[in-house]
Amino acid sequence: MDKKFSVLIVDDERYDIKVLTEFLHDDYKIMAAKNGEQALKIVQGANPPDLILLDIMMPDIDGYEVCTRLKADKQTRDIPVIFVTAVSEVMDAARAFELGAVDYVTKPFNPLTIKARVKTHVQLYNTMQELKHTLLKVKTLSGLLPICAHCKKIRDDKGYWNQIESYIRDHSEAEFSHSICQDCAKKHYPDIDIYDDE
C-alpha cells in the first residue's frame, strides 16, 4: 500500500487498544477512542478513519449504537466497521450485519486474522472510494440529440446550435484531433495523392 491508511480502534479496555495497535501500527496510522462518544467525535473530524475496529460491550454507548449512528450519517456511513467481541460475550452476529458491520473478530486476538481482515476491508473501502470519485468525474451523453442535416451542428438544451466538437467536449471527457477522411481528401484536395491501405 502506497498511502498509509488509518484505523480507529474503539475499546474501553486499554490493554485491547495496546494489543491491536501493536498488530497494526506498522501498516496503518492508528487512532484510538476509549468510548463511543469519543469515537463519534473523531470520525466527524477533518481526517476520518478508513476503517473502525469497534468493541461491542462498552459503558454508556455500546458498539451497536455507535454503528447505528455512523450508518445514519451520510458522511460516515461508508466507513467499514469490524466489531470486536470477547469469546465469552454473547454476540448477535445477525444484528451486527444488519446494522452495517462488514465483519467481526473475537478476543483473544489472533494477529494473522486481525491483519488479514483489516487489510481486506481497507482495500475494498479504498477501491470503492476511488470508483465513486471516478464516477463523479464522468460525464455521459444520453437522450435525443438534434443534429442539423446539412451543417451537422447540434442544438443544446437552451436552443443554441453548436459545432459537434464543442458540444461533445462540453458534455463528455472526449478530446478531439482533426484529420481528413479519404473521401473528403479526394473531393477537396484532388491534386494530393492518397495512398489507401487496401
Fill in the DSSP letter of residue 52: E
Q: What is the pLDDT of residue 185?
A: 75
Contact yes or no for 100/67 (Cβ under 8 A): yes
Q: What is the pLDDT of residue 166?
A: 79
| CA distances to 22, 68, 82, 153, 157 from 150, in Å | 72, 60, 62, 8, 20
Compute the distance between CA of residue 178 and CA of residue 82 in angstroms, rounded to an integer: 54
pLDDT, one tens digit for every residue, the chain (198 residues):
467 999 999 999 999 999 999 999 999 999 999 999 999 999 998 899 999 999 999 988 999 999 999 999 999 999 999 999 987 777 788 888 999 999 999 999 999 999 999 999 999 999 988 888 777 665 555 667 788 877 878 887 788 888 877 777 777 767 766 677 777 777 877 777 655 554
Domains and CATH numbers, the chain: 6-137 (3.40.50.2300), 139-198 (no CATH)
Tell me the Cα Rg of the chain.
28
Contact yes or no for 185/192 (Cβ under 8 A): yes
| Dihedrals phi, psi of 160, to nearest 5 degrees | -90, 145
Q: What is the pLDDT of residue 115?
A: 96
